[in-house]
């Protein structure tokens, strides 16, 4: 059976959802038809543009930029505050419709998801027919538009959904890569941030096609593991599968929006250590252990990326979680300024369940576990700041 993958992406999600809500509440002006934006509190770190209308975009307003900069470009810009609880409700309604068309839906953010549509033609017609049915139903029932990308794997489906917007369906099958994708600037490729694009441009690589045809040894020499990943993506190669996790296996996670743009690896890994401590503590508190650790990064332009790894054996140890997170970070980060970092653990199991043991590291693991338990007890009794890692304390001074 040929694999068919859809990537469904809500067009300007926060602004669309805000506009729909306001129209349903009786307002006459549709935010999508004027120069408008959803933005945070300009006096706080999150005082940036979260989503903008097409007219605002034509004025040069960009997602992630400070409100003051957006107002300089577009003085008549209408700003509205976000309603995150409302957006969660619209996101769930959007997901519910997708689940009626596909037995496997992977939510990758609040406003986008992958659908495995393999073998569904007997129910919903050809992939193009099914995609249009999904798109039209979301518009008719929920009031906002989506783009649907169609391909045989996730990376190509995502690239397809980013083509002309809004309210469109696009295909990007392997035999269409040269015609539709290789002509695009290399910055348009998923996983290529501003910093990576600059490095590639300095190597004379300006289009995705040029990247796809570059000797992989050259890319690895300059970009390490990341160079190998984007070379595969440029050639339309993606072995990842659509994963639908059950709620009970959702796991334990923590993320933080940082008060400044992080551009140093050492600082990022300090933040990851703090997050790993929280995740590990929550796992231990519930007597659970995680088999999978993932790291997520949101850069200063609100581009989201994530990566995960399966551990040799389940753990709730802070040091093990942090080490895995740092390895993932090294593979994932392209040098772009970081706005938000997160660690998520999943595929959790009860500590009481039988688990594979590291024969040679058992004594060390046991010592680490006792140390974690001692730290948890001290913090439980005297507060979270009663005992801190020297590396974190030093960084704060």
Same domain? For 216 and 292 the reply is no
Same domain? For 220 and 286 the reply is no
Helix 216-223, helix 194-202: angle, nearest 10: 130
Strand 169-171 to 146-151 pairing: parallel
Cα dihedral 272, 13, 142, 159, rounded to 10, equals -90
Same domain? For 268 and 343 the reply is yes
pLDDT digits (tens, 9 = 90+) for 199-249: 999 999 999 999 999 999 999 999 888 899 899 999 999 877 787 654 444
Calculate the average pLDDT of the chain: 85
Work out how many domains the chain is built from and give that number. 3
Catalytic one among 89, 112, 246, 369? 112
Q: Is the pTM of this model over 0.75?
A: no
Q: Who contacts 154 (Cβ-Cβ below 8 Å, separation ≥6)?
A: 5, 7, 114, 238, 240, 242
Q: Who contacts 116 (Cβ-Cβ below 8 Å, separation ≥6)?
A: 3, 4, 5, 102, 103, 104, 105, 242
Whether residue 76 is contained in a domain is answered as yes
Q: Is the pLDDT of residue 46 over 80?
A: no
- Higher-scoring residue by pLDDT: 315, 363: 315
Residue 203, domain extent: 181-234
Alpha carbon distance 156, 272 (integer Å):
31
The single residue listed with the structure tokens 């068309």 is 101
**Strand, coil or helix: what is 59?**
coil
Q: pLDDT grade, residue 52 (50/70/90)?
A: very high
Alpha carbon distance 161, 182 (integer Å):
16
Same domain? For 377 and 278 the reply is yes
Same domain? For 267 and 356 the reply is yes
Burial 158-172 (b: 16+ CB within 10 A, else e): bbbbbbeeeebbbbb
pLDDT digits (tens, 9 = 90+) for 58-97: 999 988 888 989 999 999 999 999 988 899 899 999 999 9
Same domain? For 226 and 308 the reply is no
Same domain? For 360 and 256 the reply is yes
Q: Which of 9-18, 234-243, 357-366 has the lowest mean pLDDT?
A: 357-366
pLDDT digits (tens, 9 = 90+) for 146-169: 999 999 999 999 999 999 999 999
**Strand, coil or helix: what is 60?**
coil
Same domain? For 19 and 64 the reply is yes
Whether 112 is catalytic is yes
What percent of the chain has a predicted confidence (pLDDT) above 70?
85
pLDDT digits (tens, 9 = 90+) for 301-346: 777 888 888 888 888 888 899 999 999 998 888 888 898 899 999 8
Whether residue 120 is contained in a domain is answered as no
Q: pLDDT grade, residue 350 (50/70/90)?
A: confident
Same domain? For 185 and 228 the reply is yes
Whether residue 93 is contained in a domain is answered as no
Indicate which CATH number applies to the domain containing 208.
1.10.150.20
């Amino acid at each position: 059976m040929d694999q068919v993958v859809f990537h469904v992406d809500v067009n300007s999600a926060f602004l669309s959802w805000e506009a729909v809500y306001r129209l349903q509440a009786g307002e006459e002006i549709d935010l999508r038809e004027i120069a408008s934006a959803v933005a945070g509190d300009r006096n706080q770190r999150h005082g940036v543009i979260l989503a903008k209308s097409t007219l605002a975009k034509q004025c040069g307003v960009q997602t992630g930029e400070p409100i003051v900069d957006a107002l300089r470009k577009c003085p008549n810009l209408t700003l509205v505050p976000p309603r995150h609880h409302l957006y969660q409700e619209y996101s769930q309604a959007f997901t519910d419709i997708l689940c009626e068309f596909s037995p496997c839906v992977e939510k990758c953010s609040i406003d986008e998801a992958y659908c495995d549509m393999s073998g569904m033609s007997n129910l919903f017609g050809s992939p193009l027919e099914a995609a249009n049915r999904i798109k039209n139903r979301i518009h008719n029932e929920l009031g906002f538009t989506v783009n649907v990308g169609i391909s045989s794997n996730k990376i190509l489906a995502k690239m397809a959904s980013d083509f002309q917007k809004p309210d469109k369906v696009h295909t990007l099958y392997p035999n269409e890569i040269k015609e539709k994708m290789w002509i695009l600037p290399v910055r348009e490729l998923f996983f290529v941030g501003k910093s990576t694009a600059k490095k590639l441009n300095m190597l004379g690589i300006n289009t995705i096609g040029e990247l796809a045809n570059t000797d992989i040894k050259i890319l690895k020499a300059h970009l390490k593991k990341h160079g190998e990943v984007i070379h595969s993506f440029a050639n339309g190669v993606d072995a990842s599968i659509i994963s639908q996790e059950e709620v009970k296996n959702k796991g334990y996670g923590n993320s933080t929006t940082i008060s400044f743009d992080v551009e140093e690896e050492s600082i990022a890994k300090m933040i990851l250590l703090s997050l790993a401590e929280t995740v590990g503590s929550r796992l231990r508190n519930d007597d659970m252990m995680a088999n999978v650790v993932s790291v997520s990064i949101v850069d200063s332009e609100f581009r989201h990326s994530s990566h995960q790894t399966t551990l040799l054996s389940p753990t709730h140890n802070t040091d093990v979680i942090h080490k895995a997170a740092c390895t993932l970070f090294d593979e994932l980060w392209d040098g772009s300024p970081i706005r938000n970092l997160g660690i998520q653990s999943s595929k959790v199991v009860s500590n009481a369940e039988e688990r594979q043991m590291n024969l040679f590291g058992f004594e060390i693991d046991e010592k680490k576990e006792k140390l974690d338990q001692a730290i948890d007890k001290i913090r439980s009794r005297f507060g979270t700041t009663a005992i801190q890692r020297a590396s974190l304390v030093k960084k704060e001074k």
